[in-house]
Each structure stands twice: as C-alpha cells, then as structure tokens.
Structure 1
Amino acid sequence: MTLRGVTRGAGRGRRYAGRLRAAPVLLLPVLALSVSALSACGGEATPEPPVATWDGTTTPVPTGPGGTAPPVPTHADGSPRKDREHGPREVLVTVNVSGGLAGVNNRLTVRYDGSHTTRSGTGPPRDGRMSPAEVARLRAALEAPAYAKVAARPSGKPVHDGFTYVVTYDYRVVVSTDGDRPEALRRVFSALPDGGPPTSP
C-alpha cells in the first residue's frame, strides 16, 4: 500500500470516529423525551370504571380533575368533615340521567341557595330556584342516615328502556336504575326540583 493510501484511510477513520462520538450527544434529547413521556403516562390515575346499563352501554361515573375522585375534607384526626359551612353557590347535589327510549343524557345541578340548572343533551341550560322550604326538604333527604346506607351500585334487575341515575352528594356517588330505587333514594328524587330527576329529552 502506498503512503497516500495509508493517509487517506487514516483520514476516513478520524471522520468515522467523530461521527460515533457525536451520536450519543444527538440521542440524549430523544432519550430524555422518552423517559418524560413514560413518567407522565405512569403518573396518571386510573379513572373509576363506568357503570354498565341494561343495553350494554355505559354511564361514566363523575370524577375530579385528571380522572380522580375529588378530595374529601377531613378533620385533624383524618375523619370526614361534614360540619363545615357551605357557600350559597356551592353545589349541593348533582343528578345525571341517561338511557330511556330517547337515549337522554341530562344533568341536574342544585346549589345550597336553591338555584338549580338542568342541561338536556346539547340544548341550552334551564335555570330555576327552589324555595328555602324545598331546599330544607332536599337536604333532610340527603342527610338522612337511611340515604347514607344506600348501595353505591345497583343490584336489582335492569329495566328494559329504563334510566340510569348517577347521584353525587357530599363526595359520594350513588348509581341507581329504574329497577333498583330504594326508599331513601326515592325520597331524594321526590324532593328534587320539577318533581324528580330530569328524564325528558
């Protein structure tokens, strides 16, 4: 081999070595992004599974931001705090209704001052206001010990073309259907504005 060939080969070797040294530097940002993506995926909380209805469809259970249940206020000893003062515009109870012949997807929100809003599908919201006596009756039904014992999930036989109700009160979610409506839950429903849960399309 000539001297020129040796020199040329050495020059190629130096170029290849330079490329190999630069490769890890280029890969570092990619690896950092991959680790960040995996950490973000692993840090997400798993939302509560939806509730199956009679026809095989599902009703999602309301949750807080990020798919997690909202935090429950507690006392210093860790026991649930239920004696705190509620603001007039704070939500007292929400009732989601789905299913039926028309396949409704409605939501009723009642606040502590008696104001309430009903949303039916994609239609405009409808507002109203309960009297102080009506609010007191609804609160009594929700705060009754019997309602606290109502099962969180339905156990009765589903009703064909029936409705599914998701009631959220005091950080607790109760799911019921037309085939499984305990007496304590019926008292809550009868105390709601407009005579009960919003089932109209």
Structure 2
Amino acid sequence: MLKRLREWSFPNSNAADDREVFVEEYRRKVRRLALERTGEPFLNATQDHAAVIIENMFRSADHEVCIFTQHLAPGIYGREAGVEWAKIFLADDQSHRLRVVMKKGELPLLETNPLYQAIRYAPAFELRVIDDEFHQQFPYRFLVADSDSYRFEPDHTKCEAVAAFGSERAKHLQVVFDSIWICGEAVNLDKTGHEQPFIAA
C-alpha cells in the first residue's frame, strides 16, 4: 500500500506544478480527516505528506503536542506552514504546551532548525534530550497530540508512517512518550534573557 501511495504522490512527470497539485490533494484529505476526527488511520510515504500531517496536528491540537524525534528534521518539521501553525498553537492559549524529546548528540543541529528557531523562546515549549545510546534503542519516531491524534513512524530510516485524528491508539503513544520524557535531561533554553516576548507572526 505504501508503494502505491508513493506512486500516487509522484507521477512520472517531475514538474513542480504536478507535485504541488498532488500535495494539495493530500492536504485537503488530511484536513478533512482532522475535522472529522473519526480515528481513521491513513498513510504517508513522503516528506511532503509528513509535513502536511505535522501542520494539521498543530492546527487541530487543543492542549498539547508531544514529539519524539532525532532532531526535528527540517524536511518534515521545518516547512513554512508547519512552523507557522506551531507558532499559532503556542501563542493562542497559555495552556497550550509543546514537549519535545530528541537525541542529545544532535542538539547542535537545532541552531539552524527553522521550527526550533521560531519557537525556542515560547514559554510553553519544553525540550529534553536523551543519551545517544539510549535513543538508538527506539527504532520509531512519533508525534502525539491531545492524547487522541498521532503520527507514528515505525522505522526512523524511512519516511513511512501511519497517522490518525481522534484515535484511541494515541493514548498508548502518550504513555510511551511520558515514559521517555521522565528519562530526559531538560535543556536550558535561556528564555529569561530573551528581550522580545514570544508572539506568533
């Protein structure tokens, strides 16, 4: 099925406008599923698809978004639309919260990461790291929002994942995330020294 999805996503034509058409079709599908919240699982097999899902997770979340990642890959988390919705999510309500756990050895990569640079001073953004050896024990990566929506990537070496909005399965991923979170080392984001308050553009 993932092979068919990849073929559907990228037809033989390499034209940029063709690619954009297919991405927009996928965006409409994901937005519909986000609004319906039936728990129906759906697949993604490209970075374009993954970025659309991330964008809609931030757009749809009411309370909290939790991410277990290697380094917030810019091709997925750093797209303009996703970054903007993350900023809106964090600025929209003081109760909103974003928690991220990542690989300690890849912290330097955040200095050029679009998402991190956009939200690093947000009061409700928290970042923790775990040792590289411990991190390597987990073959998967995932995002969970409000304990009822998720994107789960079973093999981090591939960009193939399943996602759903309004799914009971997200509760299990929330438990997994929280168990990793408590093992993480908090990163001092030095927000007190930042002169400008965090606001969404």
Fold shared by both chains (TM-score > 0.5): no
Q: Which has the higher helix share?
A: 2
Query: Which of these two proteins has the greater Rg computed from alpha carbons?
Result: 1
What TM-score comes out, normalization by structure 2 length? 0.31
Relative contact order (C-alpha < 8 Å, sep 6+): which is higher?
2
